[in-house]
Structures are given as C-alpha cells and as structure tokens.
Amino acid sequence: MQASSNVDQAKRAAVVRARWMIVLAAILWSTSGFFAKAPWFEGWPGFVLAFWRAAFACLILLPIVRKPQWSVRLIPVTLIFVAMNYTYLTVMERYEASNAIWLQYTAPIWIITLGVIMLKEKTGWADWAMVFFQMIGVLVILIPQFQDDTLWGLTLKILVGFTYALVVLSLRWMRDFEAAWIVGINHVVTCVVFLPFVVQVGIYPQEWIQWVALAAFGMLQMGLPYWLFAKSVKQIPGHEATGIVILEPILVPLWVYIAWGHLTSYERPEVSTLIGAVFILIGLVIRFMNERKTSRQLAMEG
C-alpha cells in the first residue's frame, strides 16, 4: 500500500515538474522578439539571424542526439524547417514583433485543412470553431496592411503560419525517428542553406554583445526550450502542453516593449493586430477546453 502511494506521489511530482518545464519553455520561446528587435542587430536580414540562431542551437541539440538515422524524408522535412525559419524571422525583423508570433499561431488552420484533405483525419466542431475564429483574426490583422505592404510582404506573413504547420506535420511524419535527431538535423541544414547568403552579404558579429546575444538566441530561445518541451510532453497530455504554450504569443510583445519600448525604432502593436490576436486566442482556447473536456470524459469512462 505504501509502495503504491509512493508511486502515485512520484507520478504527480513528475507531472507538476513537466508543467513547469513547459512554462519555462514557453517563456524562453517568447524571447524571440527581444532578440530579433534588439538594436545590436538593426539592419540584419532575417536569414542572417536564422543562420546564427540555428548555429548556436546546434551546440545544445547535437550533443543529446543518440540515434542518428538517414532517410530520404529528411530532405523535405529539413527544407520545410528552413522555410519556416526564414519567413518567421523575416516578418519579425521587418514588422512589429507580435505580427509574426500571432500569424504563426494560425498554423492549426493549415494543419486541420491539410489533415482533412491529405490524411483524411477526423475533425470535430471545436476544430472548425477554432479555424473560423483564427481566419477572422488573420483577416483583421492583414486587411489594414493591404495598402501599405507589398504583395511579397503579405505573402510572407501568410507563409509564417503555413510553414509552421508544415513543420508540425513533418514532425508527425517523422515520429518514428528520435526527436533530438530531427530537431538537430533541421538546425544543421538551416545553417548550411543560409551560410552562402550570410557570406554574400558579409554581415557578422563585430562586438562581444552581439556574440553573447546570438549565443543566447540560439541556445536559450531555440535549443533549450525544444529540449524542455520534448522531455516534458511525455508526462502530460498534448492538449495540456498546447494550452500552456499559449503563453508564448502573449509574452512576445511584452518583452519587446519592456526591453526596447524606449527606442525611437520601437513599433507599437497596431490596434488591428491586438483585435486579431484576441480572435486567434479565442480559437485556441475553444479547442484547448474541448480537448480537456474530452480527455476528462475518457478518463472517467476508463
């Protein structure tokens, strides 16, 4: 009896620890805007930031790889990851920071749509309610920018969510491979693809603060949270992990404001971005709450 009680306590402690680790991962992920908008990198193209972030992320990810495996599937998977990095950091660098993160969180629209069309996955009312609210959110964010932005700029913004969705789907596709290996090789290929362009533009860190910031960008904002999330998600349901990670888009503009709000180059979030973000968040919460309810019902039946 005592042994059973000790096992239950250990399981509960592991779950609590996993939750806090995912909270920490979300907080670390949310610092992307802090680094991308830093005055140390003013004028740096998104692909340069993507290269250095990936390079330093490799330093923390590759040492934990235990089972490297080759597959032809790695070619499209790694190139999709490269595209996601380019679109996200380019939009983050060119526009107000919260634009990129909220548009990235529209990925479920594409995941559900592609899942139904290509994978014949089943969906429920909560899935389509989320799609509805998120599509409204995207339109609210993008429509006011139609006159002021270029066609390429608008395309990049839409691709932020689309490429992130493809990354999620590609990770599902590669679920029989070690997670650390997939994430690690994704960052290696990102470095290889962007290296010639970085050499061409000739933009390199010149000051010690740039080296320190880039190391933190890669290791603390990208590498460490990926490891924390991968380790913790084994202990709690996926929908709960997703619910916790919603902290990320809420915190991104907050850190940017606290750190760089005093600069003349600081861009406040547009009213349309804030309103659109509310719709996107409503969609995420609806799906999260429905999954939580379904999970509880299944647990009670079991």
Domain boundaries, the chain: 18-301
- pTM above the 0.75 mark? yes
Tens-digit pLDDT profile for residues 152-201: 888 888 898 899 888 878 877 887 888 789 889 999 999 999 999 999 99
Residue 52 has pLDDT above 90, yes or no: yes
Q: Are 246 and 278 in contact (CB under 8 A)?
A: no
Range 177-210 burial, b when 16+ CB lie within 10 A, else e: bbbbbbbbbbbbbbbebbeeebeeeebebeeeeb
Q: Among 275, 282, 217, 219, which Cα is nearest to 246's? A: 282
Tens-digit pLDDT profile for residues 71-126: 999 999 999 999 999 998 888 888 877 777 777 877 777 877 777 776 666 777 88
* Long-range residue pairs from 142-151, CB within 8 A, at least 24 positions apart, any chain: 143/272, 144/270, 144/272, 145/272
Q: Please, which residues have CB within 8 angstroms of residue 289's CB and are 6 or more apart in sequence?
A: 126
Higher-confidence position of 6 and 104: 104
Mean pLDDT comparison of 60-69, 149-158, 186-195, 269-278, highest-scoring range: 186-195
What pLDDT is stored for residue 174 in this prediction?
Answer: 81
Q: In the predicted model, what is the mean pLDDT of the chain?
A: 84
What pLDDT is stored for residue 217 in this prediction?
Answer: 96
The least confident of 59-63, 73-77, 94-98, 248-252 is 94-98
Q: Within 13 A of 35's CA, how many CA atoms are on the CB side?
A: 28
Residue 1 has pLDDT above 80, yes or no: no
The rounded distance, in Å, linking the Cα atoms of 221 and 78 is: 19
